[in-house]
A and B are shown apart, each in its own frame.
Chain A
Amino acid sequence: MTTPGDRKYSDEHEWALVEGNIATVGITQYATDSLGDVVYVDLPDTGATISQFDKFGEIESVKAVSDLFSPVGGTIVEVNTGVADMPEKVNQDPYTVGWLLKIELADPSQLDKLMDATAYDNLTAE
Chain B
Amino acid sequence: MNVPIPGEIDRRLLNDRSVSGRIGVRMPDLDVPEQPLPDSGLLRSVPAHLPEVSQPEVVRYFTTLSRMNFSIDTNFYPLGSCTMKYNPKINEEMAFLPGMGGIHPHQPDETVQGALQLIWELQSDLGEITGLPGVCLAPLAGAQGEYTGLMVARAYFADRGETARTVALIPDSAHGTNPASAAMAGLDVITVPSDSDGNVNVEALRGLVDERTCVFMLTIPSTLGLFEPNILEITSVVHEAGGLVYADGANLNALLGIVKIGDLGFDIAHSNLHKTFSTPHGGGGPGAGPVLVSEELRRFLPTPVVERTGDDYRLVAPPDTIGRVNGFHGSFGVLVRAYTYIRAVGVEGMREIAENAIINANYIRSALSGEFGIAVDRICMHECVLSPQAQKAKGVSALDISKRLIDYGIHPPTMYFPLIIPEALMVEPTETESKDTLDRFIAVMRQINREIEEDPDLLHDAPHDTPNTRLDEAGAARNPYLHWRPEQNSQAAD
A40 within 8 A of partner (CB): yes
Whether the Cβ atoms of A64 and B477 lie closer than 8 Å is: no
Report the nearest A residue to B416, measured CB to CB.
Answer: A63
A39 within 8 A of partner (CB): yes
Which residues of B lie under 8 Å from residue A62 when comparing CB positions? Answer: 473-474, 477
Whether the Cβ atoms of A39 and B416 lie closer than 8 Å is: no
Cα-based distance from A61 to B476 in the complex (angstroms): 12
Most buried by A among B176, B419, B473, B478: B478
Report the nearest B residue to A37, measured CB to CB.
Answer: B474
Whether the Cβ atoms of A39 and B419 lie closer than 8 Å is: no
Whether the Cβ atoms of B419 and A88 lie closer than 8 Å is: no
Cα-based distance from A36 to B419 in the complex (angstroms): 13
CB distance from A38 to the nearest CB of B (A): 8
Name the contact of A37 in the complex, choosing from B176, B416, B419, B473 (C-beta under 8 A).
Answer: B473
A87 within 8 A of partner (CB): yes
Cα-based distance from A31 to B223 in the complex (angstroms): 23
Cα-based distance from A36 to B399 in the complex (angstroms): 10
Whether the Cβ atoms of A87 and B478 lie closer than 8 Å is: yes
Interface string of A38-72 (1 = CB under 8 A from B): 11100000000000000000001111110000000
Cα-based distance from A60 to B478 in the complex (angstroms): 11
Known: A63-B416, A64-B416, A64-B419. A88 touches B477 (CB 8 A): no
- Complex interface residues of chain B between 388 and 407 (CB less than 8 A to chain A): 399
Which residues of A lie under 8 Å from residue B477 when comparing CB positions? Answer: 37, 39-40, 60, 62
Most buried by A among B176, B415, B473: B473
Interface size on B, residues (CB 8 A): 9
Most buried by B among A63, A64, A65: A63
CB distance from A82 to the nearest CB of B (A): 14
- Complex interface residues of chain B between 436 and 494 (CB less than 8 A to chain A): 473-474, 477-478
Cα-based distance from A95 to B473 in the complex (angstroms): 24
Cα-based distance from A37 to B471 in the complex (angstroms): 13
Which residues of A lie under 8 Å from residue B415 when comparing CB positions? Answer: 63
CB distance from A96 to the nearest CB of B (A): 20
CB distance from B172 to the nearest CB of A (A): 12
Which residues of A lie under 8 Å from residue B478 when comparing CB positions? Answer: 39-40, 87-88
Which residues of B lie under 8 Å from residue A39 when comparing CB positions? Answer: 474, 477-478
Report the nearest A residue to B478, measured CB to CB.
Answer: A39
CB distance from B285 to the nearest CB of A (A): 23
Report the nearest B residue to A38, measured CB to CB.
Answer: B474
Report the nearest A residue to B424, measured CB to CB.
Answer: A63
Which residues of A lie under 8 Å from residue B419 when comparing CB positions? Answer: 64
Report the nearest A residue to B480, measured CB to CB.
Answer: A39
25 A-B contacts (beta carbon < 8 Å): A36-B399, A36-B474, A37-B473, A37-B474, A37-B477, A38-B474, A39-B474, A39-B477, A39-B478, A40-B477, A40-B478, A60-B477, A61-B474, A62-B473, A62-B474, A62-B477, A63-B415, A63-B416, A64-B176, A64-B416, A64-B419, A65-B176, A87-B478, A88-B474, A88-B478
Additional 18 contacts, C-beta under 8 A, given A40-B477, A61-B474: A36-B399, A36-B474, A37-B474, A37-B477, A38-B474, A39-B474, A39-B478, A40-B478, A60-B477, A62-B473, A62-B474, A62-B477, A63-B416, A64-B176, A64-B416, A65-B176, A87-B478, A88-B478
